[in-house]
Structure 1
Amino acid sequence: MPKDHIAGETYPERIRMGLLSRTFTPELVDFVVDEAGAREERTKSLPARLMVYFVLTMWLFTGSGYGLVLRELVEHWPRRAAEGWRPARTGSLTEARQRLGPGPLRLLFDRVAGVSGSAATPGAFWCGLRLTSLDGSLFDVPASKANAAAYGRSANGHRPGPFPQVRLLALVECGTKAMIGAAFDSFAVGERTLARRLLVHLRAGMLLMADRGFPAFVLWQAATRTGAQLLWRCSDSFTLPVDRVLHDGTYLSHLNGPHGKRITVRVVEYTVTTSTLDESGVSEETSELFCLITTLLEPQAVPAAELAELYTSRWTSETIFKHIKIEQRGGRTATLRSNSPAMVEQELWAMLCVYQAIHHLTVETATHAQLPVSHISFKQTLAAARRSVGADFSPRQLAAKARDVQDDLAREAVKPRPGRAAPRATKRSTAGYRTVKPDEPATTRVIHTVGLRLFPEERRPAPPADTTSQRITPPGMPSPRRREMATAA
């Protein structure tokens, strides 16, 4: 047996999570257990460290019951029978989860969350600013009385939803899909409230993007005080008076606050026209108006066209929830396991921890293969992590296994594909969407065309004489005009 065990460990404490043990080391797990005050007073067959690994492994095998999850953890450990240890029953595992509580998993997420992109990471930085975004999603939890009282349900106007729901908001690094922070609460708690809890993670040198549900004076003011730059979309009903037209056709406006307070913002408007393609050519076109407000007020430093293009990277956060809900959780209709709010909280923190650990492996693979992180399949990385659970690796064997997995994932890298769109339709006629036609393709090719909505030239002031020197440029890189000259040469 490999000699990588900590002195004084009992058999259950020797169990690891395979590849994910590189993120969730025994030392780190012990630290968060002690910090949360969850250490058992006497030796048990289900000690706290094992239960942390068990709760995390639940998110690798979401379709398996407690007994099968535990079996995955211990299956390949040869000394199990020799030392007289037997897997616990479901009731014992439930009690051990309750003893552990949510604290260790919350602290564990705090330790593993954070940015991972560098200046060399594609899509991680723009003009020296680290790109981040906010996005939220709802998670169904079992319909116990305790969960219903704690979290509440959505409603469709006729009746309440079938399950209580937790609202989760994540702060994400766009270039790598790393989760910087997360907050969740009951369905009744709005995304703006959750966003206030995540502002502690913002720093100067970041650019935070957000969708239409976030703009409000109080939240905008609090976010700007962190030193981060902001680029948020506004809804059609949001009032933005024209205070001053800028020379590039965008304009300055303001947000109204209490007691006559105002905050100046720059407004960039544009339309995105989506052309759906079939075998005969363009079959349909739809247009959507976008209105962005930003703290980047100088048009000579930050052109409107670049901001319009930049905002598309915000959709990275939406793909994170696709990874979690579809690939990690097992489908859009799957619910969590836990019937009590404390265990729901424990389960959600574990979900986020496992996502971040899978992310660490994808970033390592991308760095090793010199590929963008988006080219490494989350689904295949998750499958590799599952296959490694329960293996008895020494540190050297674990490092070698990680290199082999990275090589395999790099060989199966996802190739960039042209734009596609899938209709919002369903085969279930009872749903609110239209029914899929029998001969309707699952997806169609699309082309997106962006058109800036600018003030006419006769209403614009004269531009500054020299705009190149005022352009925002990442540290250590030539100015945009010099880059263009170098490229042309």
Structure 2
Amino acid sequence: MDEIAIARTVTVAAGPFAAGHLGELTRLVPFEMIDDVLAATRRTQRRVRLLPARVVVYLLLAGCLFADCGYRQVWAKLVAGLRGLPVADPSDSALRQARQRLGPAPLRALFDLLRGPAATSAVAAVRWRGLLPLVVDGTMIAVADSPANLGRYGKHRCNNGGSGYPTLRLSALLTCGTRSVIDAVFDPSTTGEITQAHRLTRSLPAGMLLLADRNYAAADLIGAFTATGADLLIRCKSGRKLPMTRRRRDGSWLSVIDGQPVRIIEARISITTTAGSHTGDYRLITTLLDPRRYPAADLVRLYHQRWEIETAYLELKSTILGGRVLRARTPDGVDQEIHALLIVYQVLRTAMVDATDSRPGLDPDRASFTTALHAARDQITQAAGIITNTVIDLVGAIGERVLTDLLPDRRIRFKARMIKRSNSRYQTRGPRIDRRTYKATTSIDVITNDP
């Protein structure tokens, strides 16, 4: 029987630093970047231990890619491709003490370096009439039920008396076209989304168009957003009293909120599927006052991109975490883990954009996040693509997998909001719920009746 032997060369850092890598994603989070962050936060080890600080940073990042594994198992993934090298075999206690020595500051600083819009040549797919659409929203994430976490993150109140786990509230600012993270903050669930949104105004420069739901239409928050120079497109309650100062040709009208001139667009949106039709009225507030450059119907269509952040939160909480509770049992550990999670999400998104950019005209929406995640995991266990020569292929093995498994072009689809999984078996009783997703057609009519 014929046999073939395959020899594979793996290039990693020397000595105790060998286990510190993120597979091919190390190119986006290189050794030099980690070392600079450690130096800036004064977390570089005084002497080289079996677990240097740089290795611990990569361990925390890899832990987010393997959310179903304990840190000992994550360590096994990092060294799986390093057979033949004298790598350490740390205990659970050693790994825990190394994470505690590191603290949360290096992960915060690393996130600050990596956050921001992804560089892409697909301008038409990510910009709208010269503006970069962003979206802001919040979500809840469960943390480990430990005495230390309970002292910081309480349990969320609900009809049944309280949630099973302590929760935190994460609010993020994302680009709509590539779903890159511009900024993010998190606090106990008692801190509201409006308070967090005020803090996120630090990352809103001019040239941005911020999309948000009705919760963010408060007058003081609109003032804080516009003070940054960014433009707004926010939904508000249809019953809100707003004086009309002038009617525009496209059916929209001008008003003033807390001294800020705004334009109001009222529209009726009808969605038709094989199951029937559904019609709803929307009222939008925007600081884009020119109806010729920014027609009302086009703004209504653009507002649908607000849902991109819901997809991003699904990728964070379901695809990466698999619906699991965060591991960390202390507030500092939660700080580490949340920032590591955001960093991993960001570098995966960057790798996906690099891949789609290699094909002119390819929309970043066609890249599959799940494909990129699984490809990145494989590169870690193989210890592949860590150190490259002077010519760096921005696509790499992860990008090749993404391009091989592209998603189809987006279609207009409709699905009613519902609880997909009941909290109690008693809630499943009653009429059968239609959980199917339908192909849909939409029509938009701008309402011109006087308010």
So what's the TM-score if we normalise by structure 1? 0.84
Q: Does 1:345 align with 2:339?
A: no
CA distance 1:155–1:236, shift in 2 (3 Å): farther
Q: Kindly state the Cα deviation for residue 152 of structure 1 after the two structures are TM-superposed.
A: 1.9
Q: Does 1:365 align with 2:355?
A: yes
Q: Does 1:276 align with 2:273?
A: yes
Output aligned runs, 1:202-217, within 5 Å: 202-217=204-219
Which of the numbers 274, 293, 300 marks the counterpart of 2:285?
Answer: 293
Which SS does the other structure have where 2:123 is aligned?
coil
Looking at structure 2, the residues matched to 91 and 401 of structure 1 have their Cα atoms a distance apart, in angstroms, of 38
Aligned counterpart, 2:406: 413
What's the % identity of the aligned pairs?
32
Output aligned runs, 1:291-440, within 5 Å: 291-331=283-323, 334-370=324-360, 371-390=362-381, 391=383, 393=385, 394-396=387-389, 399=392, 402-423=395-416, 424-426=418-420, 428=422, 430=424
Looking at structure 2, the residues matched to 448 and 117 of structure 1 have their Cα atoms a distance apart, in angstroms, of 32
Q: Deviations over 1:463-486 (max 9, x none)?
A: xxxxxxxxxxxxxxxxxxxxxxxx
Which of the numbers 137, 148, 151 marks the counterpart of 1:149?
Answer: 151
Q: Deviations over 1:161-218 (max 9, x none)?
A: 1111111111111111111111111101111111121112111111111111111222
Which SS does the other structure have where 1:58 is aligned?
helix
Which SS does the other structure have where 2:190 is aligned?
coil
Q: Kindly state the Cα deviation for residue 98 of structure 1 after the two structures are TM-superposed.
A: 0.9
Q: Kindly state the Cα deviation for residue 433 of structure 1 after the two structures are TM-superposed.
A: 6.2
Looking at structure 1, the residues matched to 326 and 144 of structure 2 have their Cα atoms a distance apart, in angstroms, of 6
CA distance 1:305–1:179, shift in 2 (3 Å): same
Looking at structure 2, the residues matched to 73 and 147 of structure 1 have their Cα atoms a distance apart, in angstroms, of 28
Looking at structure 2, the residues matched to 392 and 368 of structure 1 have their Cα atoms a distance apart, in angstroms, of 21
Structure 1 range deviating more: 299-308 or 400-409: 400-409
Alignment check: 8 A CA contact 1:17 1:389 kept: yes
Q: Which runs of 5+ in 1 are unaligned?
A: 257-261, 278-282, 460-489
Looking at structure 1, the residues matched to 130 and 434 of structure 2 have their Cα atoms a distance apart, in angstroms, of 45
Aligned counterpart, 1:67: 72
Aligned counterpart, 1:57: 62
Looking at structure 2, the residues matched to 352 and 170 of structure 1 have their Cα atoms a distance apart, in angstroms, of 10
CA distance 1:441–1:343, shift in 2 (3 Å): closer
Output aligned runs, 1:213-228, within 5 Å: 213-228=215-230
Output aligned runs, 1:103-142, within 5 Å: 103-118=105-120, 120-142=122-144
Which SS does the other structure have where 1:139 is aligned?
strand
Aligned counterpart, 1:481: none
Looking at structure 2, the residues matched to 238 and 103 of structure 1 have their Cα atoms a distance apart, in angstroms, of 43
Letter in 2 for 1:273: S
So what's the TM-score if we normalise by structure 2? 0.90
Which SS does the other structure have where 1:297 is aligned?
coil
Aligned counterpart, 2:28: 23
Q: Does 1:454 align with 2:448?
A: yes
Letter in 2 for 1:382: L
CA distance 1:410–1:205, shift in 2 (3 Å): same
Alignment check: 8 A CA contact 2:149 2:329 kept: yes
Q: Which has the larger radius of gyration?
A: 1
Aligned counterpart, 1:472: none
Looking at structure 1, the residues matched to 93 and 270 of structure 2 have their Cα atoms a distance apart, in angstroms, of 56
Aligned counterpart, 1:263: 260
Letter in 2 for 1:369: R
Looking at structure 2, the residues matched to 307 and 77 of structure 1 have their Cα atoms a distance apart, in angstroms, of 53
Aligned counterpart, 2:438: 444
Output aligned runs, 1:223-242, within 5 Å: 223-242=225-244
Alignment check: 8 A CA contact 1:13 1:49 kept: no
Letter in 2 for 1:449: S
CA distance 1:78–1:28, shift in 2 (3 Å): same
Aligned counterpart, 1:193: 195
The number of residues matched between the two structures is 440
Q: Deviations over 1:16-43 (max 9, x none)?
A: 1111101110000111111112122222
Which SS does the other structure have where 2:309 is aligned?
helix
Q: Deviations over 1:57-108 (max 9, x none)?
A: 011111111111001011111343xx3x432111211111111111111111
Aligned counterpart, 1:477: none
Alignment check: 8 A CA contact 1:426 1:435 kept: no
Looking at structure 1, the residues matched to 281 and 432 of structure 2 have their Cα atoms a distance apart, in angstroms, of 33
CA distance 1:252–1:400, shift in 2 (3 Å): closer
Alignment check: 8 A CA contact 2:16 2:88 kept: no
